[in-house]
């Protein structure tokens, strides 16, 4: 079974120190990957130097968090905001904190502005994800419903996929 070569597991408390060491030795942060699992999350930080790769792995419980690497790598804030928003990863001390609105939620009551208001969007209130809003409705049922939560009740004319949830 292939595994990532040159990959070390570090504790979240040691992450900044380890990243700082890599930075000092000329490594570049490529990006980070967050893998949600049933028992927690795996966060991988990928680095490159002279076309060689190395990786830091952090294993987290479901409620675990990681510190931002923004103080070490200036470009880290974007992927950290993305992991926070897309995978629900808690990242502390973000240099630029989008407050969960890096990818703007046009279905939310706040409209297109990205001010973090603490409000809950219609989709979130209905227990849906953004993908659910993309599921087409034909007749009274959704076309593809094997992997997404299906709202109960018949669809009405003009519904866009989250029928009966407007409120």
Partner 1 sequence: MVQTVVPFGPQHPVLAEPIQLELTLEDEVVVGVVPGLGYVHRGIEAETERRPYHEDLPLLERVCGICSVAHAVAYAQTIEALAEVEVPRRARLLRLFWFELTRIHSHLLWLGLAGDAIGFEALFQACWRVREEVLDLFTITSGNRVIIGVTALGGVRRDLPDSIQPIVRDGLDSVERGLAGIRPLALENEAVARRLAGVGVVPHADAIELGLVGPTVRASGVAADVRNARYGAYDEIPAEIMVETGGDALARTVVRWREIQESIRLCREALGRLSGLRGPLRTRVPTVLRGEATGRVEAPRGELFYYIAADGEKHPTRVRVRTPTFANIPAVIRMLPGNQMASVPVALLSIDPCLSCTER
Task: Compute the distance between CA of residue 69 and CA of residue 23 in angstroms, rounded to an integer.
Answer: 11
Instruction: Tell me the closest approach of the beta carbon of residue 154 to partner 1, in angstroms.
Output: 26
Rg of the chain over all Cα atoms, to the nearest angstrom = 20
Which residue of 19, 46, 60, 162 would you call a contact of partner 1, by CB under 8 A?
46
Task: Compute the distance between CA of residue 65 and CA of residue 104 in angstroms, rounded to an integer.
Answer: 23
The answer to whether residue 103 forms part of the interface with partner 1 (CB under 8 A) is yes
Q: Which residue carries 């629900």 as its tokens?
A: 88
Task: Compute the distance between CA of residue 113 and CA of residue 107 in angstroms, rounded to an integer.
Answer: 11
The answer to whether residue 131 forms part of the interface with partner 1 (CB under 8 A) is yes
Q: Which is nearer to partner 1, 13 or 162 (CB)?
A: 162
Q: Which is nearer to partner 1, 15 or 83 (CB)?
A: 83
The answer to whether residue 152 forms part of the interface with partner 1 (CB under 8 A) is no
Terminus-to-terminus CA distance in the chain, angstroms? Answer: 49
Q: Which is nearer to partner 1, 136 or 167 (CB)?
A: 136
Give the angle 82-85-89 at the CA atoms, nearest 5°.
Answer: 90
Please give the DSSP secondary-structure letter assigned to residue 150: P
The answer to whether residue 28 forms part of the interface with partner 1 (CB under 8 A) is yes
Sign of CA pseudo-dihedral 118, 122, 126, 131: negative
The answer to whether residue 8 forms part of the interface with partner 1 (CB under 8 A) is no
The answer to whether residue 149 forms part of the interface with partner 1 (CB under 8 A) is no
Task: Compute the distance between CA of residue 64 and CA of residue 39 in angstroms, rounded to an integer.
Answer: 11
Compose the 52-71 pattern: x for residues touching partner 1 by CB under 8 A, - for all others: -x------------------
Q: What is the binding site for partner 1 (CB under 8 A)?
A: 1-4, 28-31, 33, 35-36, 42, 44, 46, 51, 53, 73-75, 77-79, 86, 96, 101-106, 114, 130-131, 134, 147
């Amino acid at each position: 079974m292939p595994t990532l070569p040159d990959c070390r597991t570090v504790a979240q408390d040691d992450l900044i120190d380890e990243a700082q060491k890599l930075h000092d030795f000329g490594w570049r942060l490529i990006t980070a990957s967050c893998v949600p699992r049933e028992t927690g999350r795996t966060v991988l930080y990928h680095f490159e130097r002279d076309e060689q790769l190395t990786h830091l792995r952090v294993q987290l419980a479901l409620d675990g968090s990681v510190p931002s690497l923004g103080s070490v790598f200036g470009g880290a804030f974007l992927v950290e905001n993305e992991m926070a928003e897309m995978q629900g990863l808690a990242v502390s001390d973000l240099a630029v904190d989008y407050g969960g609105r890096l990818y703007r939620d046009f279905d939310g009551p706040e409209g297109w502005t990205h001010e973090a208001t603490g409000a809950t969007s219609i989709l979130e209130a209905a227990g849906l994800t953004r993908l659910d809003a993309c599921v087409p409705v034909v007749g009274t049922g959704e076309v593809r419903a094997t992997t997404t939560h299906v709202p109960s009740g018949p669809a009405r004319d003009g519904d866009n996929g989250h029928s009966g949830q407007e409120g």
